[in-house]
Copies of this chain bind each other. A is one copy, B any other.
Amino acid sequence: MTRELHLNAFLMEAGHHEAAWRLPESIPGAGIDVQHYIALAQIAEAAKFDSIFFADGSVAQGTGEFRVPGQIEPLTLLTAVAGATSRIGLIATASTTYNDPYGLARRFASVDHASNGRAGWNIVTSATSEEAVNFSLEERPLQATRYERADEFLQVALKLWDSWGDDHFVGDKAGARWGDPSRLRRIDHRGKHFQVAGPLNVPRPVQGYPLLVQAGASEQGKAFAARYAEAIFVAHQTLEQGQAFYADMKARAAAEGRDPAHVLVLPGIVPIIGSTEAEATAKARELDDLRIPEYGLRQLATILEVDEGDLELDAPLPRAVVEQTRREGFDSRSRLVIDLAEREGLTVRQLLGRLGGGRGHNVVIGTPEQVADTIEAWFTQGAADGFNVMGAALPSGLVTFVETVVPLLRERGLFRSEYAGTTLREHYGLPRPANQFEAEGAQVVQPA
């Protein structure tokens, strides 16, 4: 089979551009508008996208003056979308730091059953102290502790999903035999962070496990992704960065004994499309003109963990801030911001302009052909297995991409015209995992 491009629609309120809600056509309260998300998912499904995706954090960011700080919880949203769609995959973010494995494994299994095998889990460890203080902690746990917990969390979740054999269910009314007791198992996990008896209280997911997704690009994040992730969402500004990351992740997966083809890398792309370059540039400028500098400055200060007063709009990032961030090995987002500012020699104001459109993701401004060229280049030159498509404004950014770029990708033989399978794993060309308690020599995701 030829290699196939994968497209995920990353959905966020009125759009990924921080000022998208101010466009005349936008729904400013989109974060709690289920119909908005259903409409977006249906657009993506009609275009045969592999999946939709919701990011998340357990904190209301900002003061509530400038931008939506709250949205419907992603698994709730996915379930609502599931009933209004039939084929597209449904990926939600959930934290291993602020959930427990029994409850969360059950919720993802539930969504997988409710959607007939379309659930995916974007695994995050919740890096910020703003989240920690909502969960009875003084500050965020150390990164090493978070990833250690995440690793054990995954071990427990996989065991819980495997605690029911695929063929446990019998349903023999005459014989009074509902299920096969030999196919239902305790897991009796006893680890450092969790002790869980099991079995889970819902049968094994349709897909075996939901699709496992990861988006952290820190060293710890990459090590974790190499062990567990089947799709990786990542932010890169240049093809070279993308190629280096791609090669690194494939090698890491192989070193973990996994098939590198089963670890898909999907960089983010924020396409701003016009029928001419000038039209696209004008569209980008229209959005940028709606930005509110105080909002961007506050967001940047939060990312870098400095006071707003430390940042001057028309000067570069202060040396001390850059060095502190590099030294303390902050999360991947803060490093991405620092790298961008350094590489391009940006002032704070210029940096805000670059970040406002897609929070560090690759903003591609141009004609449909130019956007398709970028996608093809990254896909064929070892930087991407697909893309995380981030509409600057939603729905318009997704609609334009679907109407103008997707047909070009099909003409070039890169993207499907019909779904071949019915589950999210099938869309991504990934196998259904064998049950670790039942398979002999089965391909089971096993922790190091």
Whole-angstrom distance between the Cβ of A217 and the nearest chain B Cβ: 24
Total interface residues in chain A, CB < 8 Å: 78
- Check B111–A76 contact: CB distance below 8 A: yes
A86-129: contact bitstring with B at CB < 8 Å (1 yes, 0 no)? 00000000000011101100110011011000000000000000
- Does A65 belong to the interface (CB within 8 Å)? yes
- Does A47 belong to the interface (CB within 8 Å)? no
Partner of A107, one of B21, B68, B76: B76
A57-77: contact bitstring with B at CB < 8 Å (1 yes, 0 no)? 111110111111111110111
Contacts of A181 in B (CB 8 A): 63-65
- Check B34–A72 contact: CB distance below 8 A: no
- Check B110–A73 contact: CB distance below 8 A: yes
Q: A82-B80, A202-B71 known; A195 and B66 CB under 8 Å?
A: no
- Check B70–A196 contact: CB distance below 8 A: no
Give bound CA distance, A195 to B195, whole Å: 24
Ranked 10 nearest A-B pairs via Cβ: A64-B184, A28-B171, A133-B197, A79-B79, A76-B110, A73-B110, A65-B181, A64-B179, A63-B181, A70-B202
Q: List 16 A-B contacts (CB under 8 A).
A: A23-B173, A28-B171, A32-B202, A64-B178, A64-B184, A65-B177, A70-B203, A71-B201, A73-B107, A73-B110, A76-B110, A83-B83, A83-B84, A99-B103, A133-B196, A136-B194
Besides A63-B184, A79-B79, 14 other CB < 8 A contacts?
Answer: A21-B178, A61-B201, A65-B178, A69-B201, A71-B201, A75-B76, A77-B114, A80-B80, A80-B114, A83-B83, A102-B135, A133-B195, A136-B194, A136-B196
